[in-house]
Amino acid sequence: MDVKAEAKRIMAVSISKLYTSRTQRGGLRLHRSLLLSMVIKSARDIYHAALMSNTAEKVVPCSPEPETEGRMGTSTDLTTLPDSSVTLSPEAGAVKVAVESRGRAETTGENKENMGCLKPVRDSRKRPGKTVAEPDFLPLKKARLETEEETLRTPRCWRPVDALASLPANRAVAAY
Amino acid sequence: VTLCVVLLLPSLSFLVPSADVISTVEFNQTGDLLATGDRGGRVVIFQREPEDKGGREELGDAGEYNVYSTFQSHEPDFDYLKSLEIEEKINKIRWLPQQNAAHFLLSTNGEQNKTIKLWKVSERDRKPEGYNLKDEEGRLKDISTVTSLQVPVLKPADLMVEVRPRRVFANGHTYHVNSISVNSDGETYLSADDLRINMWHLAITDRSFNIVDIKPANMEDLTEVITASEFHPQHCHLFVYSSSKGTLRLCDMRASALCDKHSKIFEEPEDPGNRSFFSEIISSVSDVKFSHSGRYLLTRDYLTTKVWDLNMEKGPIETYQVHDYLRSKLCSLYENDCIFDKFECVWNSTDSVIMTGTYNSFFRMFDREAGRGVTLEAWRESSKPRAVLRTRRVYTGGRRRRGDVGVDSLDFTKKILHMAWHPAENIIAIATTNNLYIFQDRVHPENQ
């Protein structure tokens, strides 16, 4: 539980840093934004690992995806980053978070190519049956914390990375 | 290595705190000139007074650095297209090898799309007098009063140091410029930003060659950026660049025009036991320097400084812990942004000692032969301008000694990021927030 709280806090701090870096003198700093997005990714993956190990006993595997199974099988040492969690399409998910926040700033700059990144996020929002918990680590959502925890614990065959990946991105966008 | 404090040189206008934060320090090739750049876009050049060979070094100003010239290199600017303020902070200064009486230096303000400038620093100690058509004040003479012709002569005048911009290398970069490095060929230099490295010719300002480009086709795929770059000190075709992932890439410009493919890649496999939320941040290399011999590389990441042998790619040959007691504090250092601090590292003239900064106005020196490190403090003891620098210690357990500083009492606002070591002698320049300290070793002035 401590690790989850820690991960939540770090993600909140990181997102607020990303937000304030936009208004900083001298404009957006690519290196710093990249490092912040990596911390967000790390924290999210560790949060997931903690979540998975908590729900390991309760989940009835109904045609579980191989990656999810693999992840649950890894060590429950929550302080280390399980390698398998990295394989569960984290790049697409994680970078969505990073790119959303960077993309926002960079579309005002010279990189028009980043305009395209907004699309995949919107698509995933509309995916039916995937509208699971909004991230409970952001202060605005505190009121709904109880119900979100419950829905997260319900066993189902979804890909948690995608769902959670899209929402923080939206949240980050909303924050802008 | 013992150092005696000979001269403590506080910055001239330390009454103006924010514009005065020193952002770069660099000796020229002889060590007679020391340039500092600050956050206000100003460059201050110090010159070493010629040493008196008559044995009077203990008295007077012989061998000490005094202000030689001050000029505004970069002005605050505004990018109207992107509605961004462009910082005028000087990121890097590099001296060119001296070819004639004048000195040349390159300065960059590092910010997006901005300029690298070449400055000529020259002395004028003569004035022409005896013009035919102008009088002493420069006013035109009445032609009818001119009855004979004379040849103007140069007469001695007060020494004046002139600094003039000779070249402006603009629009070469889209991202923040983090490094400039003059090539050993004396004709070219490189400038590196987050994603690209360009090579310029000193005489040509409207064109540069792009030699490294790591920008991915889709920015979503970006995983690392360039953090520092330097030319090899002797081989004009070799250069190195470091990345935010902690890798070093050695590139050979003879291999191809675009050096995206490295000749050698130096990386150390990550220790899985040390994995944390912040593993990526602390492995990012903040500075890379070739040794004077050209055989080794010195790198700095957040917690360590490492020496690499160019002949061995699989890992560093030496790793020095700069402030390992901070490893358990990474979370708070992340919150207060200290974890993003970019420390520099330097070699001494014989490559036997390496030095880097830390917090609380401390800096660390590592004797490579002995394998030992020492912590020193850059602090102005106004009562004793000349005294031996005492070693300091951060208390991390065991028997506590008098003078030890606890980890929680460290002042993280007093960071030493920028420093330089004289190319031939044991003289170091250390920049704290807005003070410049120059320490000289009077016991062993030259390296054995």
Give the angle subtended at the CA of B152 by the CAs of B150 and B156, to the nearest 5°.
Answer: 140
d(CA B175, CA B193): 6
The partner residues of B251 in beta bridges, in order of sequence, read B239
The partner residues of B191 in beta bridges, in order of sequence, read B180, B198
The percent of residues above 70 in pLDDT, for chain A, comes to: 28
Q: Is B80 on the interface with A (CB under 8 A)?
A: no
Q: Do A35 and B279 touch (CB under 8 A)?
A: no
- Residue A64 has a pLDDT of 40
Alpha-carbon Rg for chain A, nearest whole angstrom, is 16
Q: Is B331 on the interface with A (CB under 8 A)?
A: yes
Tokens 């016991």 belong to which residue? Answer: B443
- Residue A13 has a pLDDT of 93
Pairing of strands B116-129, B153-169: antiparallel
B-interface mutation test, from A10, A31, A34, A100, most B Cβ less than 10 A away: A31
Give the distance from CA B153 to its chain's centroid. Answer: 41
Between B77 and A109, the higher pLDDT residue? B77
User: Residues B419, B355: contact at Cβ < 8 Å?
Assistant: yes
- Residue B21 has a pLDDT of 86
Nearest to B281 among A39, A96, A98 (CB): A39
Q: Which bin fits B98, alpha (ψ -120 to 50), beta or left (φ > 0)? A: beta
The pLDDT confidence band at residue B312, using thresholds 50, 70 and 90, is: very high
- Residue B171 has a pLDDT of 86
Helix (H) or strand (E) holding B285: none
3-class DSSP state of B84: strand
Residue A126: burial class (beta carbons within 10 Å; 0-12, 13-18, 19+):
exposed
- Residue B241 has a pLDDT of 97
The pLDDT confidence band at residue B432, using thresholds 50, 70 and 90, is: confident
Residue of B258, B243, B347, B263 lying closest to B305 (CA atoms): B347
3-class DSSP state of B249: strand
Between A47 and A57, the higher pLDDT residue? A47
Q: For the residues A128-146, what does the mean pLDDT come to?
A: 45
Q: Is A106 on the interface with B (CB under 8 A)?
A: yes
Q: Is B84 on the interface with A (CB under 8 A)?
A: yes
Q: For the residues B379-387, what does the mean pLDDT come to?
A: 60
Distance (Å) from the alpha carbon of B325 to chain A's nearest alpha carbon: 19
- Residue A80 has a pLDDT of 40
The pLDDT confidence band at residue B335, using thresholds 50, 70 and 90, is: very high
Contacts for B13 with CB less than 8 Å, ≥ 6 apart: B20
Q: Is the pLDDT of residue B355 over 80?
A: yes
Give the angle subtended at the CA of B419 by the CAs of B417 and B422, to the nearest 5°.
Answer: 170
Q: Do B220 and A46 touch (CB under 8 A)?
A: no
Q: Is A119 on the interface with B (CB under 8 A)?
A: no
- Residue B384 has a pLDDT of 58
The pLDDT confidence band at residue A111, using thresholds 50, 70 and 90, is: very low
Nearest to B82 among A17, A108, A113 (CB): A108
Looking at mean pLDDT, say which of A67-81, A118-132, B1-15, B237-251 comes out highest. Answer: B237-251
- Residue B159 has a pLDDT of 87
Residue of B255, B175, B178 lying closest to B211 (CA atoms): B255
Q: For chain B, how are helix, strand and coil distributed in percent, rounded to 5?
A: 10, 40, 50
Q: Is the pLDDT of residue A174 over 60?
A: no
The pLDDT confidence band at residue B206, using thresholds 50, 70 and 90, is: very high
Q: Is the pLDDT of residue A53 over 80?
A: yes
Between B309 and A69, the higher pLDDT residue? B309
Q: Is the pLDDT of residue A86 over 70?
A: no
The pLDDT confidence band at residue B183, using thresholds 50, 70 and 90, is: very high
Q: Which of A70-79, B21-30, B82-91, B243-252 has the lowest mean pLDDT?
A: A70-79
In chain B, which residues have their Cβ closer than 8 Å to the Cβ of A29? 176
- Residue A71 has a pLDDT of 40
- Residue B113 has a pLDDT of 53
Give the angle subtended at the CA of B442 by the CAs of B60 and B374, to the nearest 5°.
Answer: 135
3-class DSSP state of B363: strand
Distance (Å) from the alpha carbon of B245 to chain A's nearest alpha carbon: 10
How far is the CA of A14 from the CAs of A28, A82, B227, in angstroms? 15, 21, 21
In chain B, which residues have their Cβ closer than 8 Å to the Cβ of A43? 277
Tokens 């926002």 belong to which residue? Answer: A104
Nearest to B220 among A26, A95, A110 (CB): A95
Question: For residue range B118-161, what is the model confidence (pLDDT) as tens digits?
Answer: 999 999 888 888 888 888 787 888 888 888 899 999 999 888 99
Residue B124: burial class (beta carbons within 10 Å; 0-12, 13-18, 19+):
exposed
The pLDDT confidence band at residue A83, using thresholds 50, 70 and 90, is: very low
Please state, rounded to an integer, the average pLDDT across all residues of chain B. 86
In chain B, which residues have their Cβ closer than 8 Å to the Cβ of A10? 277, 331, 334
Q: Do A34 and B83 touch (CB under 8 A)?
A: no
How far is the CA of B386 from the CAs of A32, B8, B111, in angstroms? 41, 8, 39
Please state, rounded to an integer, the average pLDDT across all residues of chain A. 56
- Residue B110 has a pLDDT of 64
A-interface mutation test, from B277, B287, B331, most A Cβ less than 10 A away: B277
**Model ipTM value:** 0.83
In chain A, which residues have their Cβ closer than 8 Å to the Cβ of B285? none
Between B52 and B423, the higher pLDDT residue? B423
Contacts for B356 with CB less than 8 Å, ≥ 6 apart: B300, B305, B322, B343, B344, B345, B346, B363, B364, B419
pTM of the complete model beyond 0.95:
no
User: Residues B37, B90: contact at Cβ < 8 Å?
Assistant: yes
User: Residues B258, B210: contact at Cβ < 8 Å?
Assistant: yes
Q: Which of A8-22, A80-94, B21-35 has the lowest mean pLDDT?
A: A80-94
Q: Do B335 and A30 touch (CB under 8 A)?
A: no
The pLDDT confidence band at residue B77, using thresholds 50, 70 and 90, is: low
Q: Do B176 and A30 touch (CB under 8 A)?
A: yes
Q: Do B219 and A29 touch (CB under 8 A)?
A: no
User: Residues B209, B135: contact at Cβ < 8 Å?
Assistant: no
d(CA B140, CA B134): 4
Residue of A37, A38, A70 lying closest to A52 (CA atoms): A70
Q: Is B87 on the interface with A (CB under 8 A)?
A: yes
Question: For residue range B412-431, what is the model confidence (pLDDT) as tens digits?
Answer: 999 999 999 999 998 889 89
Looking at mean pLDDT, say which of B102-116, B318-332, B395-409 comes out highest. Answer: B318-332
Q: Which residues of B386-416 are buried (b: 16+ CB within 10 A; e: fewer)?
A: eeebeebebbeeeeeeeeebeeeebebebbb
Q: Is the pLDDT of residue B170 over 70?
A: yes
